[in-house]
Chains A and B, each alone.
Chain A
Amino acid sequence: MLKDITIGQHYPTGSVIHKLDPRTKIIAVFVFILTLFLVENFMAYGFIAIFVICCIRIAKIPIKYIIKGLKPLTFIILFTLVINSFMIAGEIIISIGPLNITEEGLYQGTFMAVRLIMLVIGTSLLTLTTSPITLTDGIESLLNPFKKIGVPAHELAMMMTIALRFIPTLLEETDKIMKAQMARGADFESGSLIKRSKSLVPLLVPLFISAFRRADDLAMAMEARCYRGGEGRTRMKELKYFKRDFLAIAVVLSLFAVLYLM
């Protein structure tokens, strides 16, 4: 059940989008998010949707896979839609008891829901097409100029790399401990809320202990290999901009500039 999580997963297909520099993609996503919040009409959203679909096609990621990633968010999206429809005053379409669905509310709700969906798809495109390591490399390199004002760019990137690397390990560990406790008769699935949260103790305590142990081991292993932070550290794969990166940035920027002015 823990293996169903798809958010943040990398889906390698070797497409042009995959090959883009991570910095290009991060900037593009940033612009994308900004536009989503600045643009206020459905027409523009239509264009954005076409753009997103084009990106998905170019990246050769199956649409089904992306929709699967949206599933855990169904509740939030529906919730946004419903709350907005009920809460915004305006012309009443249907009333159920004391609750009124208004035209403005419905409009606003749909708008918000679409915005949310776009937001999720856009950002998940970033993680789907970029491996975690290049992604953190990109973040580090983008944060580099801010080092002067005291942003620990390398440390942040290293923390992210390690965190990402340990997600599968910890999931596996959780699964193992769960099974071990279930073999001793622990029950994680039934009972009241209080009982259930109590039953998590036998899972969480060993999990924390092992996480700390792993952190300790990792720190030791890194020191044994003379890790001394980012200063003067060289890379095996230097990030480099190619023509396609400038092209991509140009496309994204111009597209969203047009949408904004519309």
Chain B
Amino acid sequence: MKNLTHIYNEGSPHQTNALEDINIEIMSGEFIGLIGHTGSGKSTLIQHINGLLKPDKGKIIVDGMDITSKNVKLADIRKKVGLVFQYPEHQLFEETVYKDIAFGPKNLGLNSDEIDDRVKEAMNLVKLPFEILKERSPFELSGGQQRRVAIAGVLAMKPDILILDEPTAGLDPRGRDEIFEQIRLLHQKYKNTIILVSHSMEDIAKLTDRIIVMHEGKVLLTGETKAVFRESERLEAIGLGVPQITKLMGILADKNIPFARDILTVEDAKIEILKWLRGKKNA
């Protein structure tokens, strides 16, 4: 995949949560975090990238292909852009895990050997044991496993761009960490573009390179993760926040302790605090 550009422009009058004049460019291989509170237009935006919704105005260009033009084949877009919806396990329907994951690749018209390989690979990526689970009914599995089957169903289509809409909503902390770890590994291994929608600032901070903040159908902020989280006041003004550790370090910085205001993880905070303590000792 060469340089991927989304030039995105829309002004639609008919919906309250419609998107307005959005211009985003996403580079190939980036890990993007998309945040914004409920109704800010995140879901609408990601459905546009996949061609499920058509903009009233403006263009979306994926990998040099204008997906808003009429003569474009939707199958081609879906090959490129994979979309995992919220609560994706609700879309499972086949009798066996294998068949369900194979649904996407089959629709792409692949032959059975290729499908077989892809199902194996996808299940491997989400850490589901292929031999044990392939003949099981997806409905017998636990919630976390069901979700992984659903995600594998999208991964098996091998999209260049993977969009995940709150992939961990409703999972326990362990399930959440596992899914995020798998997404991270996936990104490392395939260098594909990932757009992650999440309400957890901690997870966004840990994973993403760049953040897009949506508010009332517009892009409010965009920039590198650290830079965006430095704007804690603006984020809080629209009902979002920063990771708790960033907030803590910010409060300490207000008390004249020389901490950086863009610490994103507990690990980084530890380093920063140790640095400060050592500095004090030496002084």
Please determine whether B108 and A177 come into contact, CB atoms closer than 8 angstroms. Answer: no
Please determine whether B107 and A187 come into contact, CB atoms closer than 8 angstroms. Answer: yes
The complex places the Cα of A205 from the Cα of B139 at a distance, in Å, of 11
Interface of chain A, main secondary structure: helix
Please determine whether B93 and A201 come into contact, CB atoms closer than 8 angstroms. Answer: yes
The answer to whether B167 has its CB under 8 Å from any CB of chain A is no
Please determine whether B157 and A205 come into contact, CB atoms closer than 8 angstroms. Answer: no
The answer to whether A182 has its CB under 8 Å from any CB of chain B is yes
Q: What residues of chain B lie closer than 8 Å to A185, measured between beta carbons? A: 75, 78-79, 103-104, 107-108, 157
Min CB–CB distance B43 → chain A (angstroms): 10
Given contacts A184-B154, A185-B157, A205-B93, contact A176 B85 (CB under 8 A): yes
Min CB–CB distance A188 → chain B (angstroms): 11
A-B CB pair tally, cutoff 8 Å? 56
The answer to whether A72 has its CB under 8 Å from any CB of chain B is no
The complex places the Cα of A201 from the Cα of B47 at a distance, in Å, of 23
The answer to whether A96 has its CB under 8 Å from any CB of chain B is no
Q: What residues of chain B lie closer than 8 Å to A201, measured between beta carbons? A: 93
Interface of chain B, main secondary structure: helix
Q: What residues of chain B lie closer than 8 Å to A89, measured between beta carbons? A: none
Most buried by A among B75, B78, B91, B107: B91
The complex places the Cα of A224 from the Cα of B153 at a distance, in Å, of 37
Min CB–CB distance A217 → chain B (angstroms): 13
Q: What residues of chain B lie closer than 8 Å to A182, measured between beta carbons? A: 52, 74, 78
Q: What residues of chain B lie closer than 8 Å to A186, measured between beta carbons? A: 103, 107
Min CB–CB distance A202 → chain B (angstroms): 5
Identity of the chain A residue whose Cβ is nearest the Cβ of B104 in the assembled complex: A184
Query: Which positions 19-68 of chain A face chain B at CB distance < 8 Å?
Result: none
The answer to whether A195 has its CB under 8 Å from any CB of chain B is no
The answer to whether B122 has its CB under 8 Å from any CB of chain A is no
The complex places the Cα of A202 from the Cα of B104 at a distance, in Å, of 11
Query: Which positions 178-196 of chain A face chain B at CB distance < 8 Å?
Result: 179-187
Given contacts A179-B52, A183-B50, A184-B157, contact A210 B103 (CB under 8 A): no
Min CB–CB distance B79 → chain A (angstroms): 8
The answer to whether A209 has its CB under 8 Å from any CB of chain B is yes
Given contacts A185-B78, A186-B107, A209-B139, contact A179 B93 (CB under 8 A): no
Please determine whether B83 and A183 come into contact, CB atoms closer than 8 angstroms. Answer: yes
Please determine whether A184 and B103 come into contact, CB atoms closer than 8 angstroms. Answer: yes
Q: What residues of chain A lie closer than 8 Å to B90, measured between beta carbons? A: 176-177, 180, 206, 209-210
Min CB–CB distance A183 → chain B (angstroms): 4
Say which residue of B50, B75, B82, B91 sits within 8 Å of A181 (CB atoms): B91
Q: How many residues of B contact A (CB 8 A)?
A: 23
Query: Which positions 80-138 of chain B face chain A at CB distance < 8 Å?
Result: 82-83, 85, 88, 90-93, 103-104, 107-108
Identity of the chain B residue whose Cβ is nearest the Cβ of A208 in the assembled complex: B93
Min CB–CB distance B238 → chain A (angstroms): 26
Min CB–CB distance B28 → chain A (angstroms): 20
Query: Which positions 42-80 of chain B face chain A at CB distance < 8 Å?
Result: 47, 50, 52, 74-75, 78-79
The complex places the Cα of A180 from the Cα of B108 at a distance, in Å, of 15
Given contacts A201-B93, A206-B93, contact A183 B75 (CB under 8 A): no
Most buried by B among A183, A186, A187, A210: A183
Min CB–CB distance A184 → chain B (angstroms): 4
The complex places the Cα of A201 from the Cα of B95 at a distance, in Å, of 11
Please determine whether A183 and B93 come into contact, CB atoms closer than 8 angstroms. Answer: no
Q: What residues of chain A lie closer than 8 Å to B153, measured between beta carbons? A: 184
Given contacts A187-B107, A209-B139, contact A180 B85 (CB under 8 A): yes
Q: Name 27 interchain pairs, CB-CB below 8 A, sorted by A.
A: A177-B90, A177-B91, A179-B52, A180-B90, A180-B91, A181-B91, A182-B52, A182-B78, A184-B104, A184-B153, A184-B157, A185-B75, A185-B78, A185-B104, A185-B107, A186-B103, A187-B107, A201-B93, A202-B91, A202-B93, A202-B103, A205-B93, A206-B90, A206-B92, A206-B93, A209-B90, A209-B139
Interface set of A (CB-CB < 8 Å, partner B): 176-177, 179-187, 201-202, 205-206, 209-210
- Sample of 18 more A-B contacts, CB < 8 Å, known A184-B78, A184-B157, A206-B93: A176-B85, A177-B91, A179-B52, A179-B85, A180-B83, A180-B90, A180-B91, A181-B103, A183-B82, A183-B85, A184-B91, A184-B103, A184-B107, A184-B153, A185-B107, A186-B103, A209-B93, A209-B139
The 7 A-B residue pairs with the shortest CB-CB distance, nearest first, are A185-B107, A205-B93, A184-B104, A180-B91, A183-B83, A180-B85, A202-B93
